[in-house]
Homo-oligomer: A and B are copies of this chain.
Amino acid sequence: MNPGLLLVVSGPAGVGKGTIVRKMMENDTKFVFSVSATSRVPRANESEGKNYYYKTREQFEEMIKNDELLEWVEYCGNYYGTPRDLVCREIEKGNVVILEIEVDGALNVKRLFPDCVLCFIIPPDFDELEKRLRGRGTDTEESIISRLSRAKEEFKYLDKYDYLVVNDSIENATQRFISIVQAEQMRTNRNQSLINKFKNI
């Protein structure tokens, strides 16, 4: 009764995606993080296979050519994509695969995997988002302005998502995701074999 699930998590830079996803992983061994491939240069605190699989542009383009990516986008001059293999394997095992990707990628995944669950994390309000972006101190003023403007663009696609998760606190938001996963795993359309068992009594 706990079918595998593809949980897609989006949200503007600074909304707390990374922290919430980490908390979810701590909470349940059934959660598996799908590490993306990227041609972007690693940040100081990032490491290969944990945050991303770091590729050259040439390597990334090779992966595209070989159809090894579930989805990919070019964003701010860098490639980002989801290696197909791991995702399919873990879902089949009954695990919950968490994909943290931006809007275009999420909508592409939904087209390929209509059964995936699209979640968008929103801040309690827009001012709070700006405050958090400035607070983390990793971005230049120019980058902050660009990210806030990007956030406004992303909000235009909220309707395309299945769930809106407000991040008013990391604990609340994490708990909300756990509820979404638990509820989705009880959906009749994900439990056809159990239904058949009861229909054939």
- With A1-B166, A199-B155 known as contacts, the answer to whether A176 contacts B182 (CB < 8 A) is yes
Measured in the bound complex, the distance between the Cα atoms of B180 and A4 in whole Å is 17
Q: Quick check: is A75 within 8 A (CB to CB) of the other chain?
A: no
- Indicate if the CB atoms of A158 and B201 lie closer than 8 Å: no
- Indicate if the CB atoms of B163 and A195 lie closer than 8 Å: no
- Indicate if the CB atoms of A156 and B199 lie closer than 8 Å: yes
Interface size class on chain A is 20 to 34
- With A180-B183, A183-B163 known as contacts, the answer to whether A122 contacts B188 (CB < 8 A) is no
- Indicate if the CB atoms of A198 and B158 lie closer than 8 Å: yes
- With A179-B179, A180-B186, A184-B183 known as contacts, the answer to whether A195 contacts B164 (CB < 8 A) is yes
Residue of A152, A178, A184, A188 with highest tally of chain B CB at under 10 A:
A188
- Indicate if the CB atoms of B182 and A186 lie closer than 8 Å: no
Measured in the bound complex, the distance between the Cα atoms of B126 and A4 in whole Å is 25
Q: Quick check: is A162 within 8 A (CB to CB) of the other chain?
A: yes
The chain B residue sitting closest to A196, CB to CB, is B158
- Indicate if the CB atoms of A126 and B188 lie closer than 8 Å: no
- Indicate if the CB atoms of A183 and B179 lie closer than 8 Å: yes
- Indicate if the CB atoms of A163 and B186 lie closer than 8 Å: yes
Contact sample, A vs B, 19 pairs, CB 8 Å cutoff: A1-B164, A1-B166, A120-B188, A122-B198, A126-B201, A152-B201, A155-B198, A159-B188, A161-B188, A162-B188, A163-B188, A164-B191, A164-B194, A164-B195, A176-B182, A179-B179, A179-B182, A182-B183, A183-B184
Going nearest first, the 5 A-B pairs with the smallest beta carbon separation are A183-B183, A179-B182, A179-B179, A155-B198, A158-B195
